[in-house]
Amino acid sequence: MTDTRHTSRCIVHFDLDSFFVSVERLKNPALVGKPVIIGSKEGRGVVSSCSYEARQYGVHSAMPGVQAYRLCPQGIFVRGSMSDYGHYSRMVRDIIAAEAPVFEQASIDEFYLDLSGMERFFHPVEWTQRLRQRIIRETGLPISCGMASSKTVAKVATGQAKPNGEKFIPMGEEKSFLAPLPIDKLPFLGGKTGEQLRKMGYHYLRDIQQAAPEHLQQLLGKHGQSVWERANGICHSQVAAYDERKSISKEHTFEEDHTDLRLIDTMLKGMAEKLAFKLRRAKLMTGCVAVKIRYPGFDTHTKQVTIPYTTDDFRLMTVATELFRQLYNGKPVRLIGLRFSNLMEGNLQTNLFEDNIKNSKLYAALDRIKEKHGQAAVNRASGWMRQTPESSTPNFFQVSDEDSSIE
Ligand SMILES: [Mg+2]
């Protein structure tokens, strides 16, 4: 007899329902039952989330705020608070971490759990239902979940369970579950690919299931095989365990011990800028910044702080500078280091705050230049940054613009 326990997997996907809106409703219960839109109705900002009531008017995330206002003038527009969302995201993550054998945080409001082989110890469906109830009870946030033999099918199941529901797809029923769904229910399909497929007559996942995989490959290139497989419920992607230690860092050792705080400040800002660039290129955000100072005789001190998830150069520079100020004891410095940890996929900040749009567009443009010509091509350390609205943030070093450019 073959033991199939290790070949059949049990994957759970959790997704908080219109997460930002739910957090705003916890803060202000008057928003419950109303069409809530996170974003600005003016300017060039986009909607980063909206309630189910707002969706009924055709509003959806990533839509320009102006357009959302036109569709739903009675909508309540809320600016949004990344630090509150980060706080609740961590709360949910901590509950899952305390219960689940293996889990992965896929975004600020999404988690995958691998319960494979656990059926010997507990009933996976009942266990998942209990965990979901615990999250709802302890955070006050609505969350939906799906369970299936793969990440893709579990995620689609969650989508079908929303809002505030559960859906469990038994082993062997993946294909029939997917068959009647429109093709854009397949995660990560992409608008363009969806358009291409519809033009060729593929409207439901059933249509893709019935096609020959070679057909999809001809149409979509190497991407085609994976689309065909996932539409058929085949997905071998692993749940990557969340790793608190995942981080990126930079250090600089001075040739001689330094007391020149201007130089150190410039170095630190340069490091923040380079690391932030790395983050954006990897489509990651950081939720924790640490500064290290080493004095002569290997006397090493570090200090870290948890921050709202960001990739924003200026914010990260400000945090690094502030940490250094708190940590520095006035002695000559041998080495300084900067580390970003608690990394998470996503780039939420870009659509959250309207006045960041300008910055993120600028970042994107500068990043493109860096990619083409190398890091040294663009050095904007402090100059224009001081003209951003945040320039009023107190700066310990009080360096003037002319003196603080990176060499
Ligand atoms: Mg969600």
Q: What is the pTM of this model?
A: 0.67
> From its phi and psi, is residue 245 left (phi > 0), alpha (psi between -120 and 50) or beta?
alpha
Q: Do 7 and 76 fall into the same domain?
A: yes
How buried is 229 (Cβ within 10 angstroms: 0-12 exposed, 13-18 middle, 19+ buried)? middle
Give ion ligand 1 contacts, CB < 5 A.
Answer: 15-16, 19, 109
* Mean pLDDT to the nearest integer, 366-385: 50
Which of 139, 171, 203 corresponds to the end of one domain?
171
In a shared domain, residues 321 and 367? yes
State how many domains the chain has. Answer: 3
Point out the domain boundary residue: 199, 216, 242: 242
> What range does the domain containing 63 cover?
1-171
Q: pLDDT by residue (tens digit) across 382-397?
A: 333 333 333 333 222 2
Provide the CATH number for the domain around residue 317.
3.30.1490.100
Q: Examine the domain organization and report whether 164 and 176 are in the same domain.
A: no
CA of 24 to the centre of ligand 1 (A): 14
DSSP 204: B
Q: How confident is the model at residue 121 (pLDDT cuts 50, 70, 90)?
A: confident
pLDDT, one tens digit per residue, over 32-81 is 999 999 998 887 788 989 999 999 999 998 889 999 999 999 999 998 88
In angstroms, rounded to a whole number, what is the distance separating the alpha carbons of residues 315 and 336? 19
Ligand 1 center from residue 163 Cα (angstroms): 10
The token duo for 216 is: 């999809």
Which of 7, 1, 2 is closest to 171 using CA atoms? 7
State both tokens at 133: 């109830």
Please compute, for residue 260, the number of CA atoms within 13 A of its CA located in the half-sphere on the CB side. 11
Banded model confidence at residue 86, pLDDT cuts 50, 70, 90 = confident
Task: Compute, in angstroms, the gap from residue 143 CA to the centroid of ligand 1.
Answer: 8
CATH number at 232 reads: 1.10.150.20
Strands of the 49-50 sheet, one edge to the other: 49-50, 36-38, 76-78
173 is known as an active-site residue = no
Is residue 313 domain-shared with residue 360, that is, in the same domain? yes
- Centre of ligand 1 to C-alpha 162, Å, is 9
Please count the residues of the chain: 407
Which of 110, 174, 273, 322 is labelled catalytic? Answer: 110
| Residue 170: closest CA among 13, 10, 14, 15 | 10
pLDDT-based confidence at residue 281 (cuts at 50, 70, 90)? confident
Residues 222 and 232 in one domain: yes
- Strand ranges (E), 96-223: 103-107, 110-114, 143-148, 166-168
Q: Which pLDDT score, from 0 to 100, does residue 243 have?
A: 58
Confidence of residue 381 (pLDDT cuts 50, 70, 90): very low
Helices 223-231, 213-220: crossing angle, 10 deg rounding: 140
- Separation of 323 CA from ligand 1 center, angstroms? 33
Distance from C-alpha of 188 to C-alpha of 193, rounded to nearest angstrom: 10
| CA 227/CA 220 separation, integer angstroms | 9
Quickly count: other Cβ atoms within 10 Å of residue 194's Cβ: 16
**Which amino acid would we find at residue 12?**
V
- Residues 309 and 287: beta-carbon distance below 8 Å: yes
pLDDT at residue 239, rounded to an integer: 87
Q: Which of 63-72, 292-301, 393-402 has the highest mean pLDDT?
A: 63-72
CA-to-CA distance for 321 and 257, rounded, in angstroms?
A: 19
Q: How far apart are CA 192 and CA 196, in angstroms?
A: 6
C-alpha 110 – ligand 1 centre gap (Å): 6
Q: What is the pLDDT of residue 373?
A: 55
> Do the strands 247-258 and 103-107 form a parallel or antiparallel pair, or are they unpaired?
unpaired
- Rounded CA gap, 54 and 382, in Å? 41
User: Which residues face 293 on adjacent strands?
Assistant: 301, 336
CATH number of the domain where residue 159 is located: 3.30.70.270
